[in-house]
Amino acid sequence: MKLHEKLNSKGYAIFSIENMKVFKKLRDSVTHKIFNKAEKNINHLRKKMAKMSNIEINRSMINLLSFSEGSEMMINSCQNIVEELCGKELFIQRRANTIFNLPGKDQRRQWPHYEMMSGISPFTYVLWAPFHDLDDDGGVYYFDKKKSYAIMKKEYSKGIVNGPDILKMSHNEKPIKLNFGEAIVFNPFILHGNTAFESEFARIACSIRFQSTKKPLMQRNSDFLKYYKIN
Ligand SMILES: [Fe+2]
């Protein structure tokens, strides 16, 4: 089944990253910035991160601000997939997100949400990839299209968006277990979120949003997106 067919049926699709050389370079650049030194053993870094305080996490986020090539690297590592969905001429998020998920009950979580709520256009796709195998529950769970749309329709009938029905939903969903080298792409209507999890390792992942330049934008424009052409 082609990727866009998978996306049409479920609203999300898992695929293998095509250019692992670029993706590994991205991982090395990000981890180098976070920890201020080169460290090839990702699990060593994840263990260190799991013990970091909120201030230390914020400090590593500040370190990351000087790294601005992440978005191109993310797109370049998955060029054929991106081109199949949106063509060669793109609007891409200016800065790819680096996302940490720390173990333990008192950590920040992403409640169930869909990306449309942040003002991106309905023609945007989100690409999400972990920097290591996801062998615990530190990943992200996704509701398929049928379930996501049914919840949204119910909200719509009440005139609300990402309101209490979604916010109070339990976090009993099982996160998808991806291997390093796999990524997930999903449309902006798919509900997804994190759960609290127990592990000695933190989870580190990267995400980027992109759309075709032929499709209209919504609130998000040049503050958030930049023009990018696949060679
Ligand atoms: Fe999200």
pLDDT cut 90: percent of the chain above it: 75
In the reported structure, the alpha carbon of residue 158 is separated from the centroid of ligand 1 by a whole-number distance in angstroms of: 23
In angstroms, the CA 199 to CA 49 distance is: 12
The domains of the chain, with CATH numbers, are: 3-214 (2.60.120.620)
**Residue count (the chain):** 231
In the reported structure, the alpha carbon of residue 111 is separated from the centroid of ligand 1 by a whole-number distance in angstroms of: 9
In the reported structure, the alpha carbon of residue 205 is separated from the centroid of ligand 1 by a whole-number distance in angstroms of: 12
In the reported structure, the alpha carbon of residue 193 is separated from the centroid of ligand 1 by a whole-number distance in angstroms of: 7
Strand ranges, E, within the chain? 12-16, 89-93, 97-101, 125-130, 141-142, 182-186, 192-193, 203-212, 225-229
In the reported structure, the alpha carbon of residue 105 is separated from the centroid of ligand 1 by a whole-number distance in angstroms of: 20
pLDDT of 1: 75
In the reported structure, the alpha carbon of residue 33 is separated from the centroid of ligand 1 by a whole-number distance in angstroms of: 23
The answer to whether the CB of 131 falls within 8 A of the CB of 225 is no
- For 150, residues 6+ apart whose C-beta sits below 8 A from its C-beta are none
In the reported structure, the alpha carbon of residue 207 is separated from the centroid of ligand 1 by a whole-number distance in angstroms of: 9
Q: pLDDT tens, 123-178?
A: 999 999 999 999 899 899 999 999 999 999 999 999 988 888 888 776 678 899 99
